[in-house]
Structure 1
């Protein structure tokens, strides 16, 4: 989780800029603009994508702006696996784990082992650095241990393990995973969306929710910067949409049947409109804490429906966060929003129905 938390800003910055680049390319480049934006940056005479921007950048040309966003976003995306690996190692061994972790992650990315390779190198680097740092060495050597010995040996161990032993098997596994996701369609994709929705709606920002969110964000690291319809983008959209359902559902419930809720819950409900719009699932936690089974069951059902609908409609997102505010960067945005609204209505309806039934039962008992 340490690696993922440090990786997310790179995913957010890179993904949003790439998405803006494609959006501008669609506006200024015609129907094929978003497809051709990478070729546009690699125009004749340019040795790399940034050369055209340095030499002939025209502020009046919309496609040049699209290329600028695309190049910068692609650069940010290039750090995903090294940062993931480096900060997994940091979480295990503290600062001594950074160098072998980042180097190992770079090797994993170079070998096309993806985020799975980054996770593996992060653990190897972290435990190797931690083991070496605990060696009982002569006091004359202690001063150079953190600067020379630990990074040297731990990087050697991590890099050798990846290059000689683990790189190719992990790449094969990543290829199989990517092919499996690419071939996923119809009922399989809808089922995956529903499962991710159930996880997002279960503990509202807790460990299960974070597992689903991590699955979505790390999947983005495996997507080519030029991909526009990759299944990983649809998974990210399903995860984000499902995470917005519970706050909006509870906000709706407190608005429709205010007598079923306390004064403090009314205040939380008003705040949940904004929290849900910002993809902050934790906004629904006060409701779940006060009435766990009714709220959690309702949240899971609504979120599962939203996740399934988003996968069925094929909406995709490069942005791992932002909620309603990054809707312009989401493919098929109207269906994305409709899916969230449907899930929120289901959640709100279930919460109201279950609470009303409970109140009626207690009234009969009295």
Structure 2
């Protein structure tokens, strides 16, 4: 059988390529031919051609973001998350091959349930599509601001200096697009291209009204579903259908979203946003430590899944104003611990890991220091009951310590490679201590829980 697949995760960094590799290895072992298109942070690679699609027996979409399915119309398509492909690629391939055969009554029921589940998880997919397009703006803006801080934490206040230029590019440039891009691509995921205009305008208004990140989220969903229902209920004569995408939908949907944001939702969401910001700024002592522990648990729980992404997005939103954040510091530190803790365990308890796992442990060091939490997934998939609790405890310890030491971070990504940038990390020495302590806790806990390999 010839199979085709598309893989895409919200960040487009680790899950995308791990899922592709898992599918390729499984197909080879099962004696099938497969071509996998990866839609990562650098764009689409190994793109499926029209000839590939014509010859394919079935299509596998292992995606957590919205991808174009129009080219697969009329073909057997099986949808799953990237984690499904990483954990059990053979089962996913079997599902695709079974779907190719004639459906029985039982399979019809199963298909109906799968479609119902897909509709329930649609909101998450729309959100992750917006986040995936937003992250490059956040990372670029954060790093430019960090480079500005390298000249001094207040150096950007001197007009005409390089520090001021870098800060302007980061805070007033890349960061200013963060909320509109998030809103626009949430709406795009729901309603395709007609959703972009009202989504981005709604996100821009959310920023101007002080509704911030929360307002942007709401504007994106409002815009997307507004366009979706306008398309569904407005029917023009065939001679005028060409006006829908260029005139009717963008003008009418933008008008509706804009008026709702300005006159109805803007002020209440601003009040909520201001209250949350004040609460975060006022956290100290036990409350701050508890929040750090919760962030750590979220970062390690599903290693790049929806809970992890919720914590990361929350942290990234706290540095949107270009100011160092204790929340983002806890997020990144806790996200580095899972692969680092596992890598340490493969060194101190070699008899509890297979030779293949010990080799994978070497890669986990690199993934951990790069803040790629997904490096822990293969180990967690193989032994979830021992691995997941171990990394969650270590990450919780790191998040709590980071908050206790009042460490701050001005950069939303980069791992260990941003630590040498002057002023990028506040209380750098204790930040490193927090990461090391969490890594040791996870490593030794996993070593104690794992059984010897026979």
Alignment-derived partner of residue 217 in structure 1: 316
Could you report, residue by residue, the CA deviation over 1:190-231 in whole angstroms, capped at 9, with x for unpaired residues?
10000010111112112221221122123333xx33x34xxx
Q: CA contact under 8 A between 2:296 and 2:331: conserved in structure 1?
A: yes
- In structure 2, runs of 5+ residues without a counterpart are 1-127
- Does 1:127 pair with 2:225? yes
Alignment-derived partner of residue 205 in structure 2: 107
Alignment-derived partner of residue 279 in structure 1: 371
Alpha-carbon distance in 2 for matches of 1:278, 1:216: 17
| Deviation of the 1:331 alpha carbon | 1.8
Alignment-derived partner of residue 37 in structure 1: 156
Q: CA contact under 8 A between 1:86 and 1:97: conserved in structure 2?
A: yes
Alpha-carbon distance in 2 for matches of 1:22, 1:321: 16
Alpha-carbon distance in 1 for matches of 2:221, 2:303: 28
Q: CA contact under 8 A between 1:105 and 1:122: conserved in structure 2?
A: yes
Alpha-carbon distance in 1 for matches of 2:410, 2:230: 39
| Deviation of the 1:180 alpha carbon | 0.7
Alignment-derived partner of residue 170 in structure 1: 269
Q: TM-score, normalised by structure 1?
A: 0.85
Q: CA contact under 8 A between 2:330 and 2:398: conserved in structure 1?
A: yes
Alignment-derived partner of residue 20 in structure 2: none
Alpha-carbon distance in 2 for matches of 1:71, 1:307: 30
Alpha-carbon distance in 2 for matches of 1:94, 1:317: 35
Q: How do 1:315-354 residues align onto structure 2 when only pairs under 5 Å count?
A: 315-327=407-419, 328=421, 329-354=424-449
Could you report, residue by residue, the CA deviation over 1:252-294 in whole angstroms, capped at 9, with x for unpaired residues?
1111121110011011101011000111111111111111111
Q: How do 1:172-191 residues align onto structure 2 when only pairs under 5 Å count?
A: 172-191=271-290
Corresponding residue to 2:395 among 303, 307, 320: 303
- In structure 1, runs of 5+ residues without a counterpart are 27-33, 42-51, 53-63
Q: Tell me the number of residue pairs that the alignment of Structure 1 and Structure 2 aligns.
A: 322
Q: How do 1:202-281 residues align onto structure 2 when only pairs under 5 Å count?
A: 202-221=301-320, 224-225=321-322, 227-228=323-324, 233-281=325-373
Q: CA contact under 8 A between 2:149 and 2:155: conserved in structure 1?
A: no
Alignment-derived partner of residue 47 in structure 1: none
SS class of match (1:18)? helix
| Deviation of the 1:36 alpha carbon | 5.1
Could you report, residue by residue, the CA deviation over 1:308-352 in whole angstroms, capped at 9, with x for unpaired residues?
011111111222211111113222222111111110100010011
Q: CA contact under 8 A between 1:133 and 1:146: conserved in structure 2?
A: no
| Deviation of the 1:128 alpha carbon | 0.8
Q: Identify the range of structure 1 (153-162 vs 322-331) with the bigger mean alpha-carbon deviation.
A: 322-331
Alpha-carbon distance in 2 for matches of 1:181, 1:170: 16
Alpha-carbon distance in 1 for matches of 2:302, 2:365: 19
| Deviation of the 1:153 alpha carbon | 0.3
SS class of match (2:150)? helix
| Deviation of the 1:37 alpha carbon | 2.4
RMSD (CA atoms): 1.5
- Does 1:116 pair with 2:214? yes
Alpha-carbon distance in 1 for matches of 2:131, 2:426: 25
Alignment-derived partner of residue 58 in structure 1: none
| Deviation of the 1:35 alpha carbon | 2.5
Q: TM-score, normalised by structure 2?
A: 0.69
Alpha-carbon distance in 1 for matches of 2:354, 2:188: 44
Alpha-carbon distance in 2 for matches of 1:114, 1:290: 40
Alignment-derived partner of residue 175 in structure 2: 77
Q: Identify the range of structure 1 (277-286 vs 326-335) with the bigger mean alpha-carbon deviation.
A: 326-335
| Deviation of the 1:157 alpha carbon | 0.3
Q: CA contact under 8 A between 2:183 and 2:216: conserved in structure 1?
A: yes
Q: CA contact under 8 A between 2:185 and 2:199: conserved in structure 1?
A: yes
